[in-house]
Structure 1
Amino acid sequence: MQTTIDQYQAVIRAAAESKTPLRIRGGGTKDFYGNPAAEQNSTLLDMTDYNGIVDYEPTELVITARAGTRLADLEVELDRHGQMLAFEPPHFGSAATLGGCVAAGLSGPRRAAAGSVRDFVLGVRLLDGKGEDLHFGGQVMKNVAGYDVSRLMAGSMGTLGVLLEVSLKVLPKPAIETTLCMAMDEAAAIEKMNQWAGKPLPVSATCFADGQLFVRLSGAEPAVRAAQVKLGGETLVDDMVFWRSVREHTHGFFQPDKPLWRLSIKSTTPSLLLAGRQLLEWNGGLRWLSTDDGEDAEAIRAAAKEAGGHATLFRHNKSGISVFHPLPSGMMKIHRALKEKFDPSGILNPGRLYSEI
């Protein structure tokens, strides 16, 4: 595998010298996400050849794998030992890779209960914009003195470095899981989700759509059965299929021909009066908005800001606006400084996160 790294380094150094943009790509299942990559006068850096599990000790709950490793293969190996990626990352296709998962920084239905992908990153190995081979973090939780650079890579969209290897904390799979379904309106669902989130209940995921609230319970059987009696509702058959459809956006709500917004806001925010259909996750902290073309992006972002959060045009960006919520000038200054430090020639996925970097 060192030969592969040598090849990557040679490509990066040549690109830096000629100021040629690099399009860093794994399985390509998240090409739709983020600002469009520059394809003209750019070079593709395919990471899928650098794959495989480097180290996995189930008793330590830590796995280290190469960036090109398919998420599906990683999860099969974890499942053999009764373990899982607790942040439940979306794949959006069978070719999804570990590097793409971390670079995109996306988490699935379990995020509100377990944490985000950033919370589980323990260490990374990467190539910076000069082709230097760098290591950050390690394989234990308390191993950082100073800035936790490894977690900085989560959600950076490949603009700060080319991920080579990632060490992740994993968790045991719950003994049992069951999903309850109950009819109610959105206001009642928001109230219930936040009420239950403040109690010692084994709630691992919530979803509200089309007048139905879905609540997943996970954990030891006595705790799950007791919560099931306490919360009521009907037991959902094939609940694994349902949650996979929410995670992978194959649920009927997610229409690929319509713009899809992702609003991350305070979970207690009342119903947002925005045009289009909405699906709520994370106890109301994540609100998906499916709209028609031409909807006012400024109004959507103003509503998200008013609710203490931000809005991302997650899919179907035909308007040419910035996908990610604009940053305050002070925050953008920090982003630019980080970009300059890790990628002084500005060749790594330029503009993929923000046009300024």
Structure 2
Amino acid sequence: MATNADRSGELTEAIRAATSPLQLLGGGTKRFYGRQIDGHALHVAGHCGIVSYEPTELVISARAGTPLAHIESTLARSNQMLGFEPPRFGEAATLGGTVACGLSGPRRPYAGSARDFVLGVKIVNGKGERMAFGGQVMKNVAGYDVSRLMVGALGTLGLLLEISLKVLPQPERELTLGYALPLGEALARIASWSGKPLPLSAACHVNDTLYIRLSGSDSAVAAARAALGGEEIPRGTDFWTELREHRLPFFREDEPLWRVSVPPAAHLSIAGEWLIDWGGAQRWLKTSLPATEIWRAAEHAGGHATLFRGGDRAGEVFHPLSPVLARLHRNLKHAFDPAGILNPGRYTTAW
């Protein structure tokens, strides 16, 4: 693949000429996410290359088809990183697909989500119009933050052409600790630690073991290590990578996988096998229970649930919206893509 190719004109013309639905494709590594859809494939992966990178400004801009691995290796040479620690789910993952899906890794509760790091985007809407939103600096302005609206929209509002992101310095040191604890005690301990000035950057509970990651200066990590005890986990970096990429044994079953987002201390009585991430705020559930039962329990706990992988991809997979939010979503879809050309049905059967 070329490392620097501007196909924005070709992509724009393809959308302008489209008379039937288009399926927007980057590297295809997250094609499983959302509903299964039909449509002529419009490949974005060839539209690639880093447009600008200012290490001193902590900002990078790149075309949507740029491989995520290339972005991260470029940042690493300047001891910087993507703060939201995005999952790739395959080496072909692109920056555009990462932003369109809006997924974040284990660092998310402590550093921010994918949406928090997007500064600006350039897109083509469903009418074939090129549009630019945001920029390369953080601003507080009134009105809609349309650039961040594209994060997690699954390409239903526009084809991403270019994205500008805030980046972070890599921590001087990282350390992973483990504690043999049942879930209730683990969540209580995380809640207690989260209220203290500790350099936490990840917290996960699986197989009756709580894992935490400390990230920061050498002195800060050493002080936290002395205060928290626990057993140091060798090759801790590999553990968090395996968690982020869903390569831990927990994820190797064929049973439907649900992503449940709830307040960290929430109690959920849903039968199935659980893995707890984000200090309790993101919970992975393997179960064959009906979707309505899972949605009801998640909503009762103050959250929502998504059928992340497996199960019936032709039906609804995202948590049903309230009538007010559903109307807002429909209005946005109509404003950006009135003819329903871009990834129709990827998000919901309603549009």
Query: TM-score band, normalised by the shorter chain?
Result: over 0.9
Give the equivalent residue in structure 2 for 1:5: 8
2:338 match? 344
**Percent identity for Structure 1 against Structure 2:** 54
Distance 1:289 1:55, change over 3 A: same
Matches within 5 A, 1:1-357: 4-15=7-18, 18=19, 20-38=20-38, 42-142=39-139, 144-270=141-267, 272-292=268-288, 295-318=289-312, 320-357=314-351
- For the residue of structure 2 that corresponds to 1:48, the secondary structure is coil
- How many residues are paired up? 348
In terms of mean alpha carbon deviation, does 178-187 or 283-292 score higher?
Answer: 283-292
CA distance in 2, matches of 1:302, 1:196: 30
Secondary structure of 2:312's aligned partner: coil
> Matched residues in 2 for 1:68 and 1:126: separation?
13
TM-score, normalising length: structure 2: 0.97
TM-score with structure 1 setting the length: 0.95
Q: Spell out, residue by residue over 1:298-331, the C-alpha distance to the aligned partner (whole angstroms, 9 max, x if none).
A: 1111111011110000000237431100000110
State the Cα deviation string for residues 51-108 of structure 1 (Å, max 9, x = none).
0100000000000000000000000000000000000000000000000000000000
Q: What is the deviation of 1:256? A: 4.4
* Contact 1:255-1:290 at 8 Å conserved across structures: no
Please give the per-residue CA displacement for 1:113-149, whole angstroms capped at 9, x wherever unaligned: 0010000000000000011111000000116442110
Structure 2 unaligned residues grouped into runs of 5+: none
Gaps of 5+ in 1: none
User: Which 10-residue stretch deviates more, 282-291 or 4-13?
Assistant: 4-13
Deviations 1:158-184 (A, max 9, x none): 000000000000000000000000101
Residues 3 and 251 of structure 1, relative CA distance in 2, 3 Å threshold: closer
Q: Give the Cα separation in 1 of the matches to 2:300 and 2:314.
A: 24
Instruction: Please tell me the residue identity of whatever aligns with 1:159.
Output: T
In the TM superposition, residue 255 of structure 1 has moved relative to its aligned partner by: 2.2
> AA paired with 1:11?
A
Contact 2:102 2:151 in 1 (8 A): yes
- Give the Cα separation in 2 of the matches to 1:219 and 1:291: 37
- 2:12 partner amino acid: Q
**Helix, strand or coil: the match of 1:214?**
strand
Task: Find the aligned partners of 2:86 and 2:5 in 1 and give their Cα distance.
Answer: 28
C-alpha contact 1:263 1:288 (8 A) present in aligned 2: yes
Counterparts of 1:61 and 1:253, CA distance in 2: 36
Q: CA deviation at 1:5?
A: 1.9
Amino acid at match of 1:9: T
CA distance in 1, matches of 2:56, 2:342: 37
State how far apart, in whole Å, the 2-side matches of 1:319 and 1:61 are: 39
**What is the alpha-carbon root mean square deviation over aligned residues?**
1.3
Look up the equivalent residue of 1:13 and give its one-letter code: R
2:250 is paired with a residue of what secondary structure?
A: coil
TM-fit CA distance, 1:268: 1.0
